[in-house]
Amino acid sequence: MSRKFFVGGNWKMNGDKKSLGELIQTLNAGKVDPNVEVVCGAPSIYLDFARSKLDAKFGVAAQNCYKVPKGAFTGEISPAMIKDCGVNWVILGHSERRHVFGESDELIGQKTAHALENGLGVIACIGEKLDEREGGITEKVVFAQTKVIADNVKDWSKVVLAYEPVWAIGTGKTASPQQAQEVHEKLRAWLKTNVSEAVANSVRIIYGGSVTGGTCKELASQKDVDGFLVGGASLKPEFIDIINAKA
C-alpha cells in the first residue's frame, strides 16, 4: 500500500508576524509536489495567523495541547481551541516537551487520546537520547514510547509517527539514512506485531533530526521513511526542496 509522503515543519518558538508572513508568502508561491502532505507547526499565538495566510493546500499544526477540553490550566490550549482556529493537527511528545519540560510518557499518551477524540490529527514523536543509543537500548526506548502512544489510539489514520533521535535534533548531526531506515523498519515490525499488519503497512513513519535540503533526498529514498519533521530548515526557503525530496 502506498503511503502519502508527509512533511511537517516545526517552527518551534521562532518567528514573528513579519518573518513568518514572508515565509508563508514563499511557501504559497513555491512549486510543491502535489503528492506530498505538508503541515506547518506554528507557535500557538500565531495559529490563527498562519491558518489565515497559508494556502489551503498546506495544513497547520499546534506544537502541543492539553488533555482536557477546558478549565483552570493557565497557559495551556485544548484541541477544541485548536480546531476553533481552523487547525487540524497537533505535534505531541516532541523531545523538547519530554526533556526540557518534563512531560512523561503517560501524559503524552493522555494528550494523544484526547486530541484524537476531538478530531485532531496527531504527529506523535518518539526517539532516543545519545546515551541511550550508545548504551544499545534504542529499540527498548522507542518501543516503550510507541506502546504508550499505541495504547491511546483507536483510529490510526489520524496518526503520523515521527522518529526523532534526540542526539540529532538541532545538533547538525543527522542519523545516516541507514540508521534511520533501521529504526523505521523495526518500528513498523513492532506495529505489525503489537497493533496490526494493516496499521503497520499504512501508518506513516517520518524522520526528524537536522533534516536539510542536502540530506533529504537520500533519507527520502529509504523504504520505510515516509517523510520528515523538519525543525530549523522549515523556517528557510529550502523547506520547499525538502517537501520535493521525492520529486
Enzyme catalytic residues: 94, 164
223 by Cβ neighbours in 10 Å (0-12 / 13-18 / 19+) ranks as: exposed
Residue of 90, 17, 24, 21 lying closest to 239 (CA atoms) = 24
Residue of 4, 5, 3, 20 lying closest to 60 (CA atoms) = 20
Cell numbers at 37, concatenated? 502532505
Half-sphere exposure of 138 (CA within 13 A, CB side): 18
Half-sphere exposure of 131 (CA within 13 A, CB side): 0
In whole angstroms, what is the distance from residue 230 CA to residue 103 CA?
A: 21
Q: Coil, strand, or helix at residue 220? A: helix
